Amino acid sequence: MAKLPGVTITGASGRMGQMLIRQVQASDRLALVGVVERPGHSWVGQDIGGALGGADIGVRVTDDAQAAISAADAVIDFTTPTATLVFAEQAAEVGAVHVIGTTGMTDAEIARLTSAAEKTVIVRAGNMSLGVNLLTQLTRRVAAALDADYDIEIVEAHHNKKVDSPSGTALMLGEAAAEGRGVSLAEVSDRGRDGLTGARRRGDIGFAAIRGGDIVGEHDVMFAAEGERIILRHVASDRSVFARGALKAALWGIGKAPGAYDMLDVLGLNDAG
C-alpha cells in the first residue's frame, strides 16, 4: 500500500484542532504524523489519542513545531496570527503545504505571508466550507448586479469564545461584495454603530456581530432597498464542515506550485466569474 501523505495539526487542544485531528484519523487519504501545542501546555508529551480521551495512536503532542512540520507533507493551522506567521516560515523552509484557517489577521500580517508563499503552497481562507465559498461567489455576483440603492449589511453569529470580530468569513463576504461593486472594502466598511451616528452612508458595507452560546457559525448578507430585501444565508451546524474543507485543501496543495491560494482555487470556483 502506498504511503499516505502526512499532516501535522497545530493548536491541538482548540475546538478546531481537536476536530481536525479526529477528521485526519478518520481519513483514508491522509495520515496524522504530528500534533503541536504551545510550550507549557499540559498535553505536551502525551499521546494525542489519550489526550483526547481514547486509546494511544503513537503520535505524541509536541511543542517543537519545526520538527513536527518537517515530518509532514502539509500542516493545517487554525491558531493565532502570531503563531501562524511562525508556522508559515517553518513550513516554507521544508516545502510543506500550509493550510491557514486562522482568523483575525491584519492586512500587514497577511502581507508577511508573501515571502513564505514564494517557497511553498499556502492556502488561506476565512472559511473553508463549500457552502460559504459558494455564498462568497453569490455575494460578488449579486453586488455586481445591484447598485448602491441596495444597502449591504453582513450579520454574523458565533459562539461566546470567539475572540475576533467581525469574523474572517464576514470579512471575506465583505470583500466579495466590495469586489462586485468595484470598490475597496477599506473605504466603505462600517463596523461600529453606537450613539448618534447619523444616517447610513450610501454605498457602505455594514457589519454586525453576535456572540453567544455554542453557535458554530451563521452568516447573512442582506441587500436592502426601498420595498424589498434580498438575503443570502449560510448556517453551519457542525464544525466538521470546516475541518473537511481544510483536509481537502491540504490534499489539493500537495504537488502544486508555490503560491498563495484560497478555497476558491481548491474548489475550482475562481474561474466561475
Which residues have a catalytic role annotated? Answer: 158, 162
Measured CA to CA, the distance from residue 12 to residue 172 in angstroms comes to: 25
Half-sphere exposure of 216 (CA within 13 A, CB side): 14
Question: Cell numbers of 207, please?
Answer: 457589519
Distance CA 221, CA 153 (A): 6
Cα distance between residue 59 and residue 175, in whole Å = 39
3-state helix, strand, coil in the chain (%, to 5): 35, 25, 40
Amino acid identity at 235: V
Contacts of 263 (CB under 8 A, 6+ apart): 123, 125, 127, 128, 133, 245, 249
Number of H helices, E strands in the chain: 11, 12
C-alpha cell at 126: 476565512
Q: Output the CA–CA distances (angstroms, integers) from residue 180 to 144, 148, 152, 184, in the order listed.
A: 4, 11, 12, 10
